[in-house]
Amino acid sequence: MKLKHSAGFAAAGVLAMALTACSSGSDSGDDAAESGDGAISGDITVLTNRTDLIDTTFQDYKNTFESEYPDVNVEFEGITDYEGDVSIRLNTQDFGDVLLIPNTVSKDQLPNFFAPLGSVDEVSETYRFVSEQAYEDQAYGVAITGNAQGYVINKKVWEEAGITEAPTTPEEFVDALQAIADSTDATPYYTNYADGWPLSQWQGNRGVMAGPETEQILADTDEPWTEGEEQYAIDSLLYDVVDAGLSEDDPTTTNWEESKTLLGSGEVATMVLGSWAVTQVQDAAEAAGGSPDDIAYWPMPFQVDGSFHSTIGGDYKNAVSKYSENPEAARAWVDWFAQESGYAESQGGLAPTVEGELPSTLSEFESLGVEFVEIDPAPAGEETALSDIYDTAEIDLWGNVYRQKMIDTARGAADGDKASYFDSLNERWSAARAEVG
């Protein structure tokens, strides 16, 4: 334990020196907090949404950080309704020194509240997901953790059905689920239809075929639900699974909390979710008397050029308040949190650093040779192009309404079939594109 810490200190110390050197070069100011020898000092307040960790894990972070930067004193402020409270507090100048950028802040508002951390290229050398909170080539936030996309499986059930390799095509995936249905008592796939939001997790897989520019491509496509398009492939897979009767009997009475236990205990074999779900399902597996090792995470069964892809994205981003009195100390915390704290790993998430290793939850990704896809941000001036289209078309790509209707169609509870439903989606989409212009 001790050894590990001191190694961490050394690394962070080198980094801190590099950073102070860097920032004192670029910073205009005679900063009171920064003394001549480059030591960082001052009090900083850190806002966090993790009220559950504030008295435990975060206190350890504070101790470690403060022993590394003895002149800095860190205070946490836990906020339960983080989005709501902080969005309002942004109107004052008192919103702590380090805070997570609320989702309500649009990119062009970033410079109003936060201090720039450097150019996108510069910051990207160290961190992933930089462009997600950047404006006019300035980066404003560093992710606290990251997520990959794919599906969570109960390995024991899959192995019982004789499947040990991740399916490489949608057909193989459906066949695998069929094998589970035939040879085990488990429900092969669980849609979580009633809670709705888990259905939107499917959309998180955009980019696995079309690549980083998938959103622009989608906004430029007239009929995305046509064979060969990415949107068709993703939605088609869900449709086929339900159509083949491989999902739960009554989707209207599903329950998210319960579904974790079902998957953990092997009554359900598969769910498409972000990688953030793995630790939760592992906990559920353990609580149900199983082993966390039963739970694995596989990439979606769409291969491009013979390799799997997984879309990755950042979680909340730590940023430095524009009004911080000790921006150096605040910046040091942001970097330390991303690089040294081990927060991402403890959450089973992807490290926000470029060099970061895969978390144990994604251990299978390494042997499968999964390539990560980071979605490109929309070009300036076209940020709302895609959302304008789906709002106008009333097709909630990130919601549950149209996928619920799709599941209803697939299980025979609504009129029509795959062709007619996808036709109607195409029709609405192209009409909306024409209207939005």
Partner 1 sequence: MSVSTGADVRMRQGTNRRGLQPRRRGARKPRQVLTPWLFLVAPVVLLVLFTYVPVTNMVWYSFTNWDGLDPVKEPVGWTNYVEIFTRPEIFQVFFVSLYYVLGAFVQLALALYFATILSFSTWFKNFFKGILFFPYLLNGVAIGLVFLYFFRPDGTLDALLSLVGVNEPPQWLGNPDIVNVSLASTSVWRYMGLNFVLFLGAIQSIPEELYEAAELDGAGSWDKFRSIILPGIRQIVGLSVILAISGALSVFEIPYIMTGGANGTETFVIKTVTTAFTFSKVGLASAMAVVLLFIVLAFTWLQRTIFPDDKVDLTS
Q: Is 414 in the site for partner 1 (CB under 8 A)?
A: yes
Rounded to 5 degrees, what angle do the CA atoms 201, 204, 206 make?
A: 135
| Residue owning tokens 């910073």 | 27
Supply the DSSP string of 182-224, one letter for each residue.
HHSSSEEE---TTT-HHHHGGGGGTTTTT-TTHHHHHHT-S-S
CB of 416 to partner 1, least distance (A): 13
Judged by CB under 8 A, the residue of 408, 422, 425, 429 near partner 1 is: 408
Q: Which stretch binds partner 1 (CB under 8 A): 152-160, 278-286, 366-374, 388-396?
A: 388-396
Tokens of 39: 């030591």
- Say how many residues touch partner 1, by CB under 8 A: 22
Judged by CB under 8 A, the residue of 214, 261, 404, 426 near partner 1 is: 404
Tokens of 133: 């909170």
3-state DSSP of 302-328: CEECCEEEEEEEECCEEEEECCCCCHH
Q: Is 169 in the site for partner 1 (CB under 8 A)?
A: no
389, 436 contact by CB (below 8 A): yes
Q: Is 325 in the site for partner 1 (CB under 8 A)?
A: no
Q: What are the start-end ranges of the H helices in 96-169?
A: 110-113, 120-124, 155-160
Q: Is 17 in the site for partner 1 (CB under 8 A)?
A: no
318, 337 contact by CB (below 8 A): yes
Q: Is 257 in the site for partner 1 (CB under 8 A)?
A: no
Q: Which is nearer to partner 1, 125 or 250 (CB)?
A: 250
Q: Is 88 in the site for partner 1 (CB under 8 A)?
A: no
How many CB atoms sit inside 10 A of residue 414's CB? Answer: 13
Tokens of 381: 């001036």
Q: Which is nearer to partner 1, 78 or 196 (CB)?
A: 196
153, 269 contact by CB (below 8 A): yes
In angstroms, the CA 14 to CA 30 distance is 23
Q: Is 394 in the site for partner 1 (CB under 8 A)?
A: yes
Q: Is 251 in the site for partner 1 (CB under 8 A)?
A: yes
Q: Is 391 in the site for partner 1 (CB under 8 A)?
A: yes
CB of 194 to partner 1, least distance (A): 7
CB of 337 to partner 1, least distance (A): 31
107, 135 contact by CB (below 8 A): yes
Q: Which stretch binds partner 1 (CB under 8 A): 38-46, 137-145, 302-310, 401-409?
A: 401-409
CB of 219 to partner 1, least distance (A): 16
Judged by CB under 8 A, the residue of 8, 78, 196, 211 near partner 1 is: 196
Please give the residue ranges that form the binding site for partner 1 (CB under 8 A).
193-194, 196, 249-253, 387, 390-392, 394, 396, 399-401, 404-405, 408, 413-414
